[in-house]
């Protein structure tokens, strides 16, 4: 039976052979298959044809994700309000980060109300080994019993993600397995061979394209084995975190993407995170609403011109993130909208 993933690839190859603008090699061609004449360099056609999309986490003041203990999730009314705000700004594709109850509720609301939104579904992976020597905010090793529990939970999360992708196959257009679980500076590191095994499990159980989200530098340096497994590359790029000013922002992002394409040629690619903080004690006056608005518009223009799907990070400010004693911390202030849902400059 032809899967949705195979059908998309076949359609793109045929479009290229008949004079279309892009073409895509089957990720696992048989030896007798002739090579494609050209290659799709973005993943837009794998992601509902969207150019500018947005990362969505709807956690407001006093709320935090249901992948943690004692979660407090947004209400159905709050989620519906968020989605209607995004629709009004022409966002038709959102990225979510896990397959927990909050995500299920969001998918159910989209279906119940017939909302014109598609979803890149997330599968969250927690640490399976301790990266306390590489991660600056891990003061001591993660206990072995915690790592064992995380491994069991990751396996359960994989099955939840598979279930949601199949149940909501009219809404979920692709699935992302793990978020920055491979970079050497994170606190939820998972071995590469385990991530590949998870990707294979998901690909074998759903029809939608499958990806993994990680930093551009990791893909460039270490991504070859994983690139051979996923349907498209999910790349993160953050000029602000790397000391760039807004005048350097777009050029730095494009350098990042070109580095990935040079290292992993002929692979479909989407930017799964790129953004600019509006308030940040870490960044001083390099952060700001005017800078975010400029980066957003420049990135949108490039994404549209190159048919590259970009998920801007992010829809709404999230006060649960980062140091609870620092309301001006960068982690909290990447939203295109404030936590009270009023628009920032980019959305005005």
| Residue in this structure with the two tokens 């909302």, named with its chain if needed | 115
Which residues, given as ranges, of the chain have pLDDT below 50?
A: 1-2, 7-39
pLDDT at 4: 53
Q: What percent of the chain has pLDDT over 70?
A: 87
Are residue 137 and residue 280 in the same domain, yes or no? yes
pLDDT score for 307: 92
What pLDDT, on the 0 to 100 scale, is given for residue 5? Answer: 62
Task: Please report the pLDDT score of residue 325 as a whole number.
Answer: 85
Q: Which domain holds residue 328?
A: 46-347
Residue 65 and residue 144 in one domain: yes
| Same-domain status, 117 and 233 | yes
Nearest to 172 by CA among 113, 218, 104: 104
pLDDT value for 38: 34
Name the DSSP class of 10. H
Residue 7: per-residue pLDDT? 47
Residues 55 and 30 in one domain: no
Over its C-alpha atoms, the chain yields an Rg (Å, rounded) of 19
- Residue 147 phi/psi, 5-degree rounding, is -65, -40
How far is 258 from 249, CA to CA, in rounded Å?
Answer: 14
Residues 111 and 167 in one domain: yes
Per DSSP (E only), the strands in the chain are: 52-55, 93-95, 118-123, 172-179, 210-215, 233-236, 269-274, 310-312
Q: Are residues 268 and 314 in the same domain?
A: yes
Question: How many C-beta atoms lie closer than 10 Å to residue 323's C-beta?
Answer: 12
Non-local CB neighbours of 261 within 8 Å, separated by 6+ positions? 41, 267, 269
Which pLDDT belongs to residue 187? 86
Contact 261, 39 (CB under 8 A): no
Residue 236 three-state SS:
strand
Question: Which residues are 179's β-sheet partners?
Answer: 213
Question: 124 with 181, same domain?
Answer: yes
Residues 295 and 190 in one domain: yes
pLDDT in tens, 291-312: 999 999 999 999 999 999 999 9
Q: Are residues 229 and 194 in the same domain?
A: yes
Q: How far is CA 63 from CA 95, 129, 308, in A?
A: 19, 28, 33
> Can you give 298-343 as a three-state secondary structure string?
HHHHHHHHHCCCEEECCCECCCCCCCCCCCCCHHHCCCCECCCCCE
State the pTM of this model.
0.88
User: Which pLDDT value is given to residue 134?
Assistant: 79
The verdict on 51 and 113 lying in the same domain is yes
Is-contact 208 155, C-beta < 8 A?
no
Q: Is the same domain home to 29 and 123? A: no
Pair (260, 184) in one structural domain: yes
Element (H, E) at 234: strand 233-236
- Measured from the Cβ of residue 321, the count of other Cβ atoms closer than 10 Å reads 17
């Amino acid at each position: 039976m032809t899967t949705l993933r195979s059908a998309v690839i076949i359609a793109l190859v045929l479009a290229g052979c008949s004079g279309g603008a892009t073409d895509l090699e089957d990720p696992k061609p048989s030896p007798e298959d002739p090579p494609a004449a050209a290659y799709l360099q973005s993943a837009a056609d794998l992601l509902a044809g969207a150019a500018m999309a947005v990362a969505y986490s709807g956690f407001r003041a006093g709320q935090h994700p249901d992948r943690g203990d004692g979660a407090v999730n947004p209400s159905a009314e709050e989620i519906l309000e968020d989605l209607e705000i995004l629709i009004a700004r022409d966002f038709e594709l959102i990225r979510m980060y896990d397959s927990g109850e909050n995500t299920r509720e969001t998918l159910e609301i989209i279906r119940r109300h017939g909302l014109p939104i598609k979803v890149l579904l997330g599968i969250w992976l927690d640490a399976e080994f301790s990266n306390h020597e590489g991660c600056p905010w891990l003061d001591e090793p993660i206990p072995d019993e915690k790592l064992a529990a995380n491994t069991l939970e990751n396996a359960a999360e994989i099955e939840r993600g598979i279930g949601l992708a199949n149940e909501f196959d009219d809404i979920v257009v692709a699935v992302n397995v793990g978020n920055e679980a491979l970079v050497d500076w994170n606190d939820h590191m998972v071995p590469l061979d385990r991530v590949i095994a998870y990707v294979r499990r998901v690909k074998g159980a759903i029809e939608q394209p499958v990806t993994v989200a990680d930093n551009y530098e990791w893909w460039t340096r270490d991504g070859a084995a994983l690139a051979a497994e996923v349907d498209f590359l999910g790349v993160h790029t953050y000029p602000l975190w790397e000391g760039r000013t807004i005048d350097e922002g777009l050029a730095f992002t494009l350098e990042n993407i070109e580095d990935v394409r040079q290292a992993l040629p002929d692979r479909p690619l989407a930017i799964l995170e790129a953004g600019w903080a509006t308030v940040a004690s870490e960044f001083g006056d390099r952060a700001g609403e005017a800078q975010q608005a400029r980066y957003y518009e420049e990135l949108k223009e490039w994404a549209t011109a190159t048919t590259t799907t970009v998920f801007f990070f992010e829809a709404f400010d999230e006060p649960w993130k980062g140091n609870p004693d620092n309301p001006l911390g960068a982690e909290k202030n990447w939203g295109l909208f404030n936590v009270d849902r009023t628009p920032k400059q980019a959305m005005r």
